[in-house]
Amino acid sequence: MTLPQTPDQHGKGEVELAVSLGPLRLRHPVINASGTFDLGEMEAHYERDFVADFPFSAYVPKTVTLEARAGNPPPRVSETACGMINAIGLANPGLQSFLNSLPALAKLREPVIVSVGGSQREDYVAVVEALEKTLDSATKGSVPQVAGYELNVSCPNVRTGCLAIGTDPAETAALVSAVRPLTARLLVVKLTPNVTDVVVVARAAVDAGADCLSLVNTFRALVVDSVTLKPFLGNRTGGLCGPAIKPIALRLVHDVAAALPVPVIGMGGITTGLDALEFIACGATAVAIGAANFAAVDAGERIVAELEAELRARCLPSVSAARGLALPGSARSARDA
């Protein structure tokens, strides 16, 4: 891990952190992963003004479903070796409550990417339609800048839909085809790692009109209660995330970025700027921070600062210069920079 320590040779000049997710310009590549950073709650609990001083370059709220969902029975989370497992079950107050909360986000300077979930195609369609209608009719400044949607077809913790869609290329394509005509905004599809070949599903999504892919969602997993020897989580199984899964997530991002021409949002176990850089080297345009937000409320800005330092230490002038260095076609190496 030792880089040449010659501070005189680098450290000079600006490092360009801005990236483009299709038409969407982000001031840096680090966004939050859905379900792991609730802006309203962070504002309510912490002294810091997270709206005025938002650490991420885009805000992805918790997945919204048409109806309110109470979620799965507890326990819902547990720690594992270098990871954590959750079975929240898409607990959320539902579409109407989300629409009501939009004005509270109006002051946010960063774009919002709305994560949408559901048990069936029609649910996703209903949520996107309702949002489009609300946004179109809203007076300027009364709602945040909603830049796009992330279709969550990969939550392993709900019994119907979601993962059943995301593991099936045809279902995924049908969903994207249904949503695509409803909006001109950025359409992201969030992929599951629980498949034999992620590229098949990714390609189906892109062919059906997705602008961007995000991955990975969590890995279906199980924790045994050490006292009773029964499944520990109320939902029996849950989804594994955190540093434990990073090597698998990197491989999946690498495979998708190598195969498809759309921008990729990479995630899975990122806790440092170097982790973020690794995803970028594997072809990610942006990266998302999930479980690391639980370990530290300032994870976002720390990772951005570290990423900048890592680029600087390698004499890489921009995030783009690092992008894809680990992909099959790339002859370049960070050593040449």
Partner 1 sequence: MSAVPAGSSMVQKAVTVDCRVSDVRRHGTFAVVSLVAPHLARRAVAGQFVMVAVPRGGFVLRRPLSVHAVRGDSIALLIEARGHGSAALAAVDVGQTLSLAGPLGTGFVTEGVQSALLVGGGIGVAPFQMLAERLAAAGSYVTAAFGFRDHRQARVAGAFDIPQLWVATEDGSLGRRGTAVELAETLAVQPGTVVYACGPLPMIGAVQRWAQSHELTGQASLEAHMACGSGSCHGCVIETTAGYLRVCSEGPVFDLRMVIAP
Ligand X SMILES: Cc1cc2nc3c(=O)[nH]c(=O)nc-3n(C[C@H](O)[C@H](O)[C@H](O)COP(=O)(O)O)c2cc1C
Q: Which residues form the interface with ligand FAD (CB under 6 A)?
A: 1-2, 78-79, 223, 225-227, 232
Contact residues for ligand X (CB under 6 A)?
33-36, 62-63, 86, 88, 90, 115, 152, 155, 190, 217-218, 241-242, 245, 267-270, 289-292
Q: Where are the alpha helices (DSSP H) in 69-220?
A: 94-101, 121-137, 163-166, 169-179, 198-207
CB of 97 to ligand X, least distance (A): 15
What letter represents residue 279's amino acid?
Answer: F
Annotation marks residue 155 as catalytic: yes
Grouping H, G, I as helix, E, B as strand and the rest as coil, residue 116 is strand
Q: Where are the alpha helices (DSSP H) in 158-298?
A: 163-166, 169-179, 198-207, 246-259, 273-281, 292-295
Phi-psi region of 22 (alpha: psi -120 to 50; beta: other; left: phi over 0): left
Q: Which residue lies nearer to partner 1 by CB, 17 or 108?
A: 108
Contacting partner 1 (CB under 8 A), which of 11, 73, 103, 328? Answer: 73
Mask of contacts with partner 1, 234-253, x by CB under 8 A? --------xx----------
Mask of contacts with its own copies, 159-198, x by CB under 8 A? --------x--------------------------xxx--
The site partner of 47 among ligand X, partner 1, ligand FAD, none (C-beta below 5 to 8 Å per kind) is partner 1
CA distances from 237 to 69, 157, 190, 268, 286 (A): 18, 7, 20, 19, 29
Tokens linked to 291:
């479980």
Mask of contacts with its own copies, 278-307, x by CB under 8 A? x--xx-------------------------
The site partner of 258 among its own copies, ligand X, partner 1, none (C-beta below 5 to 8 Å per kind) is none
CB of 136 to its own copies, least distance (A): 38
* Cα–Cα dist 160/171, whole Å: 13
DSSP 272: S
The owner of tokens 């680990």 is 326
Residues tagged active-site: 155
